[in-house]
Chain A
């Protein structure tokens, strides 16, 4: 047990380290020295000596390895991700923390809806394998699985915002809304409706597919035949034996999926100008704001590694067979 957890932790730490090192390497292969890059706007009025002083201040005159790498790793560990190019002088960490809540709300709500709908539908389809409901559910979820979530978002805007005018298709708040009031909350929820639907639809197909596969595996197991032979009704078999065993792979997938969820949300946020991490990513990409981009990559990498850690540990708790 402890040996298993130990090796899982080591793997997680190695992955995180590789994320950080990749971050460092990427940032340093960009042509032009960071000092010249930052002072570039004022190139004519900045003398070579001034650049040299700046290089020394930032430790750029020391060797890349090990000095600069270690410097980078230690400042990253302290939560110092450097300064943004585009938002002059702002800390990257501050920018990210500012934008994080909007993404967490969007992704959290969409995950919740997709899990409830997707897993239920998938388990049902697997239980009634081969029926009409199964065929429709499987076909629809394979189609959703193959569709980029952001395109679903664009289609939703055309239908529900432009044509029908039911909900807004842009931003998170109407102009002039006063924060804190009930109207403000309702306005926020109306703005949230389409992005959440798009992200949830993008996820639901995958959950149906996996839950269905898990359930169809369970249904053919010997213990299900035993349960039937004992004289259990279909409902009892489903609740007591099938459901819990089928949930095992589903729980793992949902935990592992975090990286893909956030990645999908980035493009959806771009469609709706949602003020979250995705919006920040697009702004950073367009302005080639590398420090912000690196910070976002680090954040995504860290959350993916943590999610994997959680999945591995949860699996041990859920399935006693893994512990040995």
Chain B
């Protein structure tokens, strides 16, 4: 095995180089990557940039003060610095969206690959199951599942560093947004399993599991990556909407929670555009970045069949 890796490494490096050249040639990909890099840095070290998360107790400003040299993005209804809130919100929003996407990709790939590889009855039933999640929007499912599950597990202790409601939102988004990925992975697996190299692996005596993981999965990476970027954009959207409706946690405010707080404080009718403008603009930028990156990936891998132009 190690020999073959060495033998092919030259070709692999060349392929990666061609891919990067074409991918970075798209203007959308460049804009998306730059914005995303910025937000990831911000999310990684919020404390260094703006200090610890402000609360009503250690708030530093006036109530609902417009932007000034001291508070670049103004303050909220209890005098907290909006820049501070938005920077800390980046960490919450991005982590939730990315972890939800990981869950969604793992579930979607597993189900799609199993259905496509085994075919027959397994395929029919798995796809019928997938149909349900394909038809029902993640937001609608999450809207009813989240409050119930939060009630069941209680609102007390943190789970893996998340407040319970955020952890539930994260898992629920992941578990309800995989259907699209499953469908694409399945159709790709259907064509891959007919190829000669799969026959060769079977003749050599590889098990079904090993064929799926070592031979089919690597060939699915392009589709999974391109759609993964779109799944992240969707996850941000759902998380923001759910938090806006009050399912988030004020102790770990995401951008959606900030918008919810702004709405409850009557920021719109008070004309406090800085308070509601900042988190929304962040949601717009990040989710647009992922859409642009997803499109550019899709164009690079598969110029003829595109999800979105």
* Chain A interfacial positions (CB closer than 8 Å to B): 11, 14-15, 18-19, 22-23, 26-27, 29-31, 138, 142-143, 145-148, 150-151, 154-155, 157-158, 161-163, 169-170, 209, 212-213, 216, 259-260, 263, 266-267, 270-271, 281-282, 285-286, 288, 290, 293-294, 296-297, 300-301, 304-305, 308
Contact = CB atoms under 8 A, between A and B. Distances in A.
B273 interface: yes
B175 interface: no
A259 B140 contact: yes
B143 A281 contact: yes
B222 interface: no
A209 B140 contact: no
A157 B268 contact: yes
Contacts of B128: 11, 14
30 contacts: A14-B128, A29-B152, A30-B148, A30-B152, A31-B152, A142-B291, A142-B292, A146-B237, A146-B283, A147-B283, A148-B237, A148-B240, A148-B241, A150-B244, A150-B259, A151-B276, A151-B280, A155-B276, A157-B268, A259-B136, A263-B139, A266-B143, A266-B245, A267-B241, A281-B143, A285-B245, A288-B147, A290-B147, A293-B147, A304-B140
A294 B273 CA distance: 35
Main secondary structure of the interface of A (DSSP, over half): helix
Nearest to A126: B309
B216 interface: no
A269 B135 CA distance: 23
Interface in B259-273: 259, 262-263, 267-273
B interface, how many residues as a size bin? 35 or more
A290 B148 contact: yes
B306 A213 contact: yes
A147 B137 contact: no
Interface string B19-41: 00000000000000000000000
A150 B276 CA distance: 11
Contacts of A285: 143, 147, 245-247
Contact of A11 (B131, B147, B267, B284): B131
Return the 7 tightest CB-CB contacts between A and B, nearest first: A151-B280, A146-B288, A157-B268, A146-B287, A162-B271, A297-B144, A263-B139
Most buried by B among A158, A282, A294, A304: A158
Contact of B151 (A30, A138, A282): A30
B250 to A, nearest CB: 14
Contacts of B136: 15, 19, 259, 301, 304
B132 interface: yes
A266 to B, nearest CB: 7
A154 B151 contact: no
A271 B273 contact: no
B122 interface: no
Contacts of B246: 282, 285-286
Contacts of A146: 233, 237, 283-284, 287-288, 291
Contacts of A286: 246
B261 to A, nearest CB: 12
Interface in B128-181: 128, 131-132, 135-137, 139-140, 143-145, 147-148, 151-152
A21 to B, nearest CB: 10
Most buried by A among B140, B237, B271, B280: B140
A43 B233 CA distance: 47
Interface string B98-134: 0000000000000000000000000000001001100
Contact of B137 (A15, A143, A260, A271): A260
Contacts of A15: 131-132, 135-136
Given A146-B287, A158-B272, 16 more contacts: A15-B132, A146-B288, A148-B244, A151-B240, A151-B280, A154-B267, A154-B280, A158-B268, A161-B268, A170-B269, A260-B139, A270-B245, A290-B148, A301-B140, A304-B135, A305-B135
B303 interface: no
Contact of B309 (A19, A22, A209, A293): A209
B151 A158 contact: no
A301 B148 CA distance: 18
A162 B268 contact: yes
Contact of B268 (A19, A22, A30, A154): A154
Contacts of B143: 263, 266, 281, 285, 293, 297
A213 B140 contact: no
B308 interface: yes
Contacts of B291: 142, 145-146
Given A216-B309, A267-B245, A158 B273 contact: yes
Contacts of B151: 30-31, 288
A305 B136 CA distance: 8
A259 B269 CA distance: 30
